[in-house]
Structure 1
Amino acid sequence: MPTSSASTTGSARSAASGGVQSLERAFDLLERMADAGGEVGLSELAASSGLPLPTIHRLMRTLVACGSVRQQPNRRYALGPRLIRLGESASRLLGAWARPHLARLVEETGETANMALLDGDEVVYVAQVPSKHSVRMFTEVGRRVLPHSTGVGKALLAGFPPEEVRALLGRTGMPAATDRTITTPGGFLAALEEVRRLGYAMDDNEQEIGVRCLAVPVPDSPTAAAISVSGPAGRVTEEATERIVPALRQVAAELSEALTTPGASPTA
């Protein structure tokens, strides 16, 4: 019987890594479900993964029995509640990995440094190291915000196709946090073009009056992530931006390497 290219690739990867092919396939299916919005049918998984339907059905039965996946009344499969605890623990660990890098960013820029992830349609802050200035910005770890009014949101969405960005904005709406907030899809897509052109994102009094934030994505992060530096607009000036952005890019690259290097230490 002919073997699909995806199956062949999986076999070669498992053999090369000494891993268990069925486990690799199961995690791959979970990631494909997450990419599809959390709910899929078997035929969709077969089309995207290249695996035979009987193989997918067997793996999904196992994932259902473990509580990682549940079958909906419409016969489609959805990510299960057991994954929530894993996701929360992973977010905390990601914050632990990020903090030493953010601390160095604070030392270099003098301003508060943050790390944020795109979780569904929202931005969630997972790590922060505050500035040593008496007047400084503070965002509570765990806080959720809509992406259209934040620097990290722009940095995260700049890598998405325009149609996906429009769909997200349609689901969330674009409420104004200040009179500087971008409140139209066209205006936001134009702002993302500017992010791609400049290589960094800015929130200029759009989330909070008097606050300016600069942000860049973390390249090749296992999940969509961005880091930022924020402070009073009087300190985060155009001149300061020229100094802060290179530091952001350097730390983002180093954090990316730490997150993607097997066996790396969180405090490296």
Structure 2
Amino acid sequence: MQRESRGAVQSVSRAFEVLETLAEHGPLTLSRLATESGLPLSTVHRLVGSLGALGYVRVGADKRYMLAPRLIHLGERSARTLSRWAVPHLAPLVDELGETANLAMLDGDHVVYVAQVPSRHSMRMFTEVGQHVLPHCTAVGKALLAELSGAEVGSRVRRTGLPARTERTLTTLEDLDAELEKVRTRGYAVDDGEQEVGVRCVAVAVRDSVLPLAMSVSGPATRLTDEVVERAVPALRAATEALARDLSGSGRPAG
């Protein structure tokens, strides 16, 4: 019985390895999929057959395998669930600091905003849930990059480059590495008009989370002063710790 249980867990683990490899590298031939996933060719052939029958993988006319649209439905449901868990932690930040609070996740080489509670001010941040941005020019992105090794950061930069969004954007790997070292030392990241002129943001990574997440507070630079940032950091740390506990199952969902 235990042997069967271990075998079932291994099969599930390998199936997810195939899905994650396809998500990371795009359409792949069977042999390339085996190489990238590190799994035996025979195992990959069996798994893509099963995943294809379930509607999660499909093969194109060029014999390359890709993720199927059915996974979009799962992703949308997952994002909505994550938002429901996050909002009770974001709302108190807005109440305390008066500015928009966001939750973002590292998704491949980009950062995607997955939850938000907007400021009550008429002039506020209008970053939309679902929006993808490059991480080097955002506080949430830098908070997440700081959790990675220098080699991983360099690999990502080689793929995406460091395009300038404003004159304040960091556009060299040397400058980005120096900034990330500051983030690691102080435990939070700041975007000072690097993504959008006149907008400031402070972010903290969600440590010990099952997902690569960061939480932020953002608003006009005229309101998000150094004094507000100083108050925001401990509030963000407390909120990220509470969210991590909820996501790990060691606490109850807030709200």
TM > 0.5 between the two?
yes
Q: In 2, distance between residues paired with 1:229 and 1:66?
A: 41
> How far is the alpha carbon of 1:29 from its aligned partner?
2.3
- 1:220 matches 2:211: no
Runs ≥4 in structure 1, deviation > 6 angstroms?
A: 72-76
Corresponding position of 2:85: 97
Contact 2:94/2:100, CA 8 A, preserved across alignment? yes
Q: In 1, distance between residues paired with 2:133 and 2:44?
A: 36
Q: TM-score, normalised by structure 2?
A: 0.83
Within 5 Å, which residues of 2 pair with 1:47-196? 54-71=42-59, 77-196=65-184
Q: TM-score, normalised by structure 1?
A: 0.80
Contact 1:180/1:204, CA 8 A, preserved across alignment? yes
Mark the runs of 5 or more structure 1 residues left unpaired by the alignment: 1-10
Aligned residues: 250
Q: In 2, distance between residues paired with 1:159 and 1:13?
A: 37
Among candidates 192, 200, 219, match of residue 204 of structure 1: 192
Contact 1:176/1:183, CA 8 A, preserved across alignment? yes
Corresponding position of 2:37: 45
Same amino acid, percent of matched pairs? 52
Contact 1:33/1:79, CA 8 A, preserved across alignment? no
> How far is the alpha carbon of 1:46 from its aligned partner?
4.4
Contact 2:21/2:33, CA 8 A, preserved across alignment? no
Q: In 2, distance between residues paired with 1:218 and 1:67?
A: 33
Corresponding position of 1:8: none
Contact 2:205/2:214, CA 8 A, preserved across alignment? yes
Contact 1:149/1:203, CA 8 A, preserved across alignment? yes
> How far is the alpha carbon of 1:112 from its aligned partner?
1.0
From the superposition, tell whether residues 91 and 59 of structure 1 become closer, same or farther in structure 2 (CA, over 3 Å): same
> How far is the alpha carbon of 1:36 from its aligned partner?
5.3
Q: What secondary structure does 1:175 align onto?
A: coil
Provide, for residues 200-258 of structure 1, a one-character-per-residue CA deviation record: whole Å limited to 9, x for no partner.
Answer: 11001111222110001112333321110012222222222221101101100111111
Q: In 1, distance between residues paired with 2:245 and 2:25?
A: 27
From the superposition, tell whether residues 46 and 96 of structure 1 become closer, same or farther in structure 2 (CA, over 3 Å): same
Provide, for residues 153-201 of structure 1, a one-character-per-residue CA deviation record: whole Å limited to 9, x for no partner.
Answer: 1011111222332232233232222111111122112111111111111
From the superposition, tell whether residues 219 and 27 of structure 1 become closer, same or farther in structure 2 (CA, over 3 Å): farther
Provide, for residues 18-63 of structure 1, a one-character-per-residue CA deviation record: whole Å limited to 9, x for no partner.
Answer: x95366335542465268545553255346xxxx765554333211
Q: In 2, distance between residues paired with 1:79 and 1:123?
A: 20
Q: What secondary structure does 2:53 align onto?
A: helix
Among candidates 236, 240, 245, match of residue 248 of structure 1: 236
From the superposition, tell whether residues 182 and 13 of structure 1 become closer, same or farther in structure 2 (CA, over 3 Å): farther
Contact 1:41/1:75, CA 8 A, preserved across alignment? no
Moved more, 69-78 or 95-104: 69-78
> How far is the alpha carbon of 1:12 from its aligned partner?
7.7
Corresponding position of 1:7: none
Among candidates 2, 9, 12, match of residue 24 of structure 1: 12
Provide, for residues 6-26 of structure 1, a one-character-per-residue CA deviation record: whole Å limited to 9, x for no partner.
Answer: xxxxx68957xxx95366335
Name the amino acid aligned to 2:151: E
